[in-house]
Chains A and B, each alone.
Chain A
Amino acid sequence: NAGVTQTPKFRVLKTGQSMTLLCAQDMNHEYMYWYRQDPGMGLRLIHYSVGEGTTAKGEVPDGYNVSRLKKQNFLLGLESAAPSQTSVYFCASSPLRVEIYEQYFGPGTRLTVT
């Protein structure tokens, strides 16, 4: 199993440009998450999904949109990139359980907005 993969690994955007980050998981997990990680800030949840066709806002959703058209994929979109969105983005997934379970993380996408 590849686990959680993210595409691309690195990207440089100019202010105002748009892009989509792709997250894919092959573990048949129900839940998927997008985080951003900034120095000294830990991980902050952007959006998450509890199943195919559903999405919800996390802690810092402004400026981002997401879609979960297929169970294995979770897309994060930036419609008009801003320098404040320079960050490392991580996708994670977890199985549906009665109890809250561990999350499996992808390797990250390093995004720079100039």
Chain B
Amino acid sequence: SQQGEEDPQALSIQEGENATMNCSYKTSINNLQWYRQNSGRGLVHLILIRSNEREKHSGRLRVTLDTSKKSSSLLITASRAADTASYFCATDAGYNQGGKLIFGQGTELSVKP
């Protein structure tokens, strides 16, 4: 079963605009991660936010986490055509679970030049 549900499933914006993707999950977590997948490639880790953190930044990425609502958002500011990719949230399955992650279904982002 999928832990995370992402919204929207697809997003199309113009270069320079901001892109916001949301992720909801069902059970308590220790951390939440975001990954990017370019077409035909493997996933690449973007950022990790711990359950005791509310916001985290990395370059043009801003992630928020609301554990009371079991939701997270990923904001990409000043988007570029190179940001076109699918973005996945992933939550941990808990300690002593072999480091397993549970992935959402992803948001497909298209940034038009």
Contact = CB atoms under 8 A, between A and B. Distances in A.
A104 B44 CA distance: 7
Contacts of A97: 99
Interface of A is mostly: strand
Given A106-B42, A107-B41, A108-B41, A31 B99 contact: yes
Interface size classification for chain B:
20 to 34
Interface stretch (B14-22, B55-63, B101-109): B101-109
B88 A105 contact: no
Contacts of B26: none
B98 A105 contact: no
B105 A40 contact: yes
A56 B45 CA distance: 24
B28 interface: no
Interface in A7-52: 31, 33, 35, 40-45, 48-50
Interface in B14-65: 30-31, 33, 35, 40-45, 48, 50
A59 B101 CA distance: 11
A34 to B, nearest CB: 12
Nearest to A88: B40
Interface string B71-104: 0000000000000000010001001001111111
B68 interface: no
A40 B40 CA distance: 15
A10 B2 CA distance: 27
A100 to B, nearest CB: 4
Interface of A: 4, 31, 33, 35, 40-45, 48-50, 56, 58-59, 90, 92, 94, 96-97, 99-108
List the 4 closest pairs (A to B, CB-CB), nearest first.
A105-B42, A102-B45, A42-B105, A100-B92
Given A50-B98, A105-B44, 4 more contacts: A45-B100, A92-B42, A100-B92, A103-B43
